Amino acid sequence: ASTIYALDGEHQVGVAMRKLAARAVIWRGSATSVTDLTPAGFESSQAYDARSGFQVGVVTRHALTASGGAASEDQAALWQGAADSWLDLGALLPLPFNASMARSIEVDGERLLVCGEARRVETADAGTPRETHYVPDAQAVLWSARLR
C-alpha cells in the first residue's frame, strides 16, 4: 500500500509500506520509478511535502519501544531526492527538544522555509517491558535557510 501526500512538478512524495514499516518515497510519474528516501539506520519514515526538488518529513530510528508501544523519537528530515541526501533538521533545535517532524516546505526565491513541530519526549522505564514515551511539551517550529 502507498499514499501520495504532495506533488512537485513531475515528482510525487508520500509513504509506501515495506515489510510492515512506513517508508518515505518519491515517485517520478510511475509506480516503477519509486525511490526510498529512508536513510540507513532508520526503521521508518514519511515524506509529507515537496517543493523545488526538496522533500520534507520525518524519520524514526525505532518504531516501537521495548514494551511494544509506539516510540516518539522522530526527527524532522529534509531530502533532495535520495536517502543519502537527508539532513536532520531536529539536530538544529535547541535543548530540551529531542524529537521533531517537518510538515510543509516553501521555496521563496533564495529562501527555503520548513514548518513543523519540535517536541520534548521523555522516557519512563527505558529498556524494560514497561518502557513508555510521553510528550510533555510540543511547539511549532520554522526552519529557514538561504539557498545559493
What DSSP letter does each residue of 96-118 carry, written as one string?
T--EEEEEEEEEETTEEEEEEEE
Q: Higher-confidence residue: 50 or 132?
A: 50
Q: Is 89 helix (H, G, I), strand (E, B) or coil?
A: helix
Distance of CA 22 to the CA centre of its chain: 11
Burial (CB < 10 A; 0-12, 13-18, 19+), residue 44, is buried
Average pLDDT in the chain: 88
74 vs 38, more confident:
38
Sheet strands (E) in 28-92: 35-36, 44-51, 54-60, 74-79, 87-88
Radius of gyration of the chain (CA): 16
Looking at residues 94-113, what average pLDDT do you find?
93
Torsion angle of alpha carbons 118, 113, 80, 100, nearest 10°? 0
pLDDT of residue 68: 54
Cβ(117)–Cβ(75) below 8 Å:
no
> How, if at all, do strands 54-60 and 35-36 pair?
unpaired
Cell of 141: 517550529
The three cell numbers locating residue 130 = 514497561
- Give the residue-averaged pLDDT of 99-105: 94
For the segment 2-51, what is each residue's pLDDT rounded down to a tens digit? 999 999 988 999 999 988 788 999 999 888 899 999 999 998 899 999 99
Banded pLDDT at 65 (limits 50, 70, 90): low
- pLDDT for res 70: 54
What global pTM score does this model have? 0.87
**Residue closest to 139 by CA, chosen among 94, 86, 88:** 94
Residues 29 and 10: beta-carbon distance below 8 Å: yes
